[in-house]
């Protein structure tokens, strides 16, 4: 192997040109799409659509704890063509304030469309564009590997042609990938040397070339001191009634600031996620929503922990079957949670009536320790919706919701629904509690959080934890 591999890698002329052009090219990428331009909303189609895209998402080594999605765009359970949802973040802080991650502009776009002249009865498409992501410590005093990805775009499309056939496709591309590895005095060889040759050549690599190299090496290549560059995925499924396309361009497992795998500061970064789904034969109202056990905003909203064990309510329902997702335990800073579950159920009757409910529950919650320890048991949040045969909403309530029983210093308190509970002064200094937090802003749906806890003391003070969450909608378009 050539000893020159041990020397510092310099950016080639093509990399300097790519960097200078990145802003202009990113704008172009956002507008390029295989889908026809969105049309004005008209009569609902006989198809149901769901699509979403986002730039990045981080999952920490500790189980279900995750950062929020970067610049998400979402179209959920609609029969209406002509919908457009976009989201753009020009420059964002690293997810979870991770010093190893720096993100540039992130743009996501989701649409539903019709194009009869092109032979398309209806369809939906989502596209994620990440202008640049830089992974690694940016500290000249501490030489470390740096991985840079520019102009990553990921698209998922699902559509029906006018002959009644369903289709699904995905596409991903990248403008440039660069890897700088500091000199160690030892020649590099193996997969890492192959990766360096590919990304630091005179011609920018395609994403397919990077994916092919990862496939040749069991789906991942380790970059010592930084992490593992791993395969994403691209999947399509076409059945008699529905078509789905889902893509994730790349995944990177970061070893943390210490650069060593297996530590508590390890995290997984997903980059470029798109999803599109179309369901045929949907002349009636469509459902949407989910039930999830918990989510949290840490220390005054600096970091969001996304929905834990969410169970989605499909557009077409579940044929009256209850579907569930469970997790034995999870930990939010300052709070231990056990017995987490999300559930969903929906049914369309033969005459077109729709019944739907979603539910999120937590069996046991523990905060604090010693004399300041408190527990809460039996938290359930539930939303119930029913329409008549004409699609009019005739029931919308949170029956079945319970904020649970709180125990503190041997005394048990039944938490009243929708009211601020009277707590002893010693406990009130530790936490603030709200129950039955309800959102009625959507006149075709409802959302509830059974129990909201705000920590007032200790290192986690300012953290807000939502327990027992449910939301659902029923739409006729």
Residue 255 gets the label, from left (phi > 0), alpha (psi -120 to 50) or beta, of: alpha
- Tens-binned pLDDT, residue by residue, of the chain (477 aa): 333 333 334 343 334 334 333 333 333 333 334 566 555 456 789 999 999 999 988 777 654 445 568 889 999 889 999 999 999 987 655 455 567 788 889 999 999 999 999 999 999 999 999 999 888 876 666 778 889 999 999 999 999 999 999 999 999 999 989 888 887 666 677 888 889 888 887 788 888 999 999 999 999 999 988 889 999 999 999 999 999 999 999 999 888 777 777 777 788 889 999 999 999 988 878 899 999 999 998 876 667 777 899 999 999 899 999 999 999 999 888 899 999 999 999 999 988 899 999 999 999 999 988 888 899 999 999 999 999 988 899 999 999 999 999 999 889 988 999 877 788 888 889 999 999 999 999 999 999 999 999 999 888 888 999 999 999 999 887
Helices assigned H by DSSP within 200-310: 207-216
What pLDDT, on a 0 to 100 scale, did the predictor assign at position 26? 33
Closest CA to 172 of 131, 233, 230, 219: 233
Q: Rounded to an integer, what distance in angstroms lies between the CA atom of residue 139 and that of residue 40?
A: 50
Whole-prediction pTM: 0.79
Under a CB-based contact definition with an 8 Å cutoff, are residues 250 and 212 in contact? no
What pLDDT, on a 0 to 100 scale, did the predictor assign at position 36? 61
106-115 vs 120-135, strand pairing mode: antiparallel
What pLDDT, on a 0 to 100 scale, did the predictor assign at position 61? 60
393-397 vs 374-387, strand pairing mode: antiparallel
Closest CA to 33 of 150, 169, 138, 164: 169
What pLDDT, on a 0 to 100 scale, did the predictor assign at position 42? 65
Q: Rounded to an integer, what distance in angstroms lies between the CA atom of residue 35 and that of residue 99?
A: 37
> Domain limits of the chain?
3-279, 286-475
What pLDDT, on a 0 to 100 scale, did the predictor assign at position 283? 80
Closest CA to 51 of 13, 84, 27: 84
Phi, psi of 420 (to 5 degrees): -75, 120
């Amino acid at each position: 192997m050539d000893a020159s591999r041990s020397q510092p890698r310099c950016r080639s002329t093509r990399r300097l040109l790519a960097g200078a052009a990145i802003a202009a090219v990113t704008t172009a990428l956002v507008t390029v799409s295989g889908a026809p331009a969105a049309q004005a909303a008209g009569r609902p189609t006989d198809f149901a659509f769901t699509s979403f895209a986002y730039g990045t998402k981080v999952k920490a080594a500790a189980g279900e704890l995750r950062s929020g999605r970067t610049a998400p765009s979402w179209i959920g359970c609609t029969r209406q063509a002509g919908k457009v949802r976009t989201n753009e973040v020009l420059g964002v802080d690293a997810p979870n304030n991770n010093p190893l991650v720096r993100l540039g502009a992130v743009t996501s776009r989701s649409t539903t469309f019709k194009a009869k002249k092109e032979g398309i009865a209806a369809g939906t498409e989502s596209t994620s564009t990440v202008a640049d992501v830089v992974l690694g410590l940016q500290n000249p005093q501490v030489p470390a590997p740096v991985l840079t990805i520019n102009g990553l775009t990921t698209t998922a499309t699902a559509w029906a042609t006018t002959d009644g056939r369903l289709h699904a496709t995905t596409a991903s591309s990248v403008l440039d990938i660069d890897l700088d590895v500091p000199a160690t005095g030892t020649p590099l060889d193996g997969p890492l040397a192959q990766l360096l040759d590919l990304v630091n050549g005179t011609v920018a690599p395609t994403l397919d070339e990077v994916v092919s190299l990862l496939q040749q090496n069991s789906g991942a290549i380790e970059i010592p001191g930084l992490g593992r560059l791993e395969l994403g995925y691209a999947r399509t499924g076409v059945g008699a009634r529905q078509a789905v396309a889902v893509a994730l361009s790349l995944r990177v497992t970061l070893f943390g600031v210490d650069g060593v795998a297996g530590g508590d500061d390890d995290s997984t970064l997903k980059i470029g996620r798109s999803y599109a789904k179309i369901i045929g034969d949907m002349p009636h109202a469509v459902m949407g929503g989910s039930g999830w056990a918990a989510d949290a905003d840490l220390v005054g909203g600096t970091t969001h922990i996304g929905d834990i064990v969410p169970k989605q309510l499909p557009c077409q329902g579940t044929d009256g079957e209850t579907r569930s997702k469970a997790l034995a335990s999870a930990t939010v800073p300052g709070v231990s949670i056990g017995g987490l579950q999300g559930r969903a159920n929906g049914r369309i009757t033969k005459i077109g009536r729709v019944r739907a409910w979603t539910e999120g529950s937590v069996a046991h919650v523990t905060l604090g320790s010693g004399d300041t320890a408190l527990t809460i048991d039996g938290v359930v949040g539930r939303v119930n919706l029913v329409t008549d045969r004409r699609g009019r909403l005739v029931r919308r309530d949170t029956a079945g919701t319970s904020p649970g029983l709180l125990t503190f210093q041997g005394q048990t308190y039944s938490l009243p629904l929708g009211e601020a509970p009277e707590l002893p002064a010693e406990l009130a200094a530790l936490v603030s509690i709200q129950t039955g937090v309800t959102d009625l802003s959507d006149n075709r749906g409802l959302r509830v959080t059974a129990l909201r806890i705000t920590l007032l003391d200790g290192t986690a003070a300012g953290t807000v934890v939502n327990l027992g969450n449910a939301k659902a909608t029923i739409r006729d378009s």
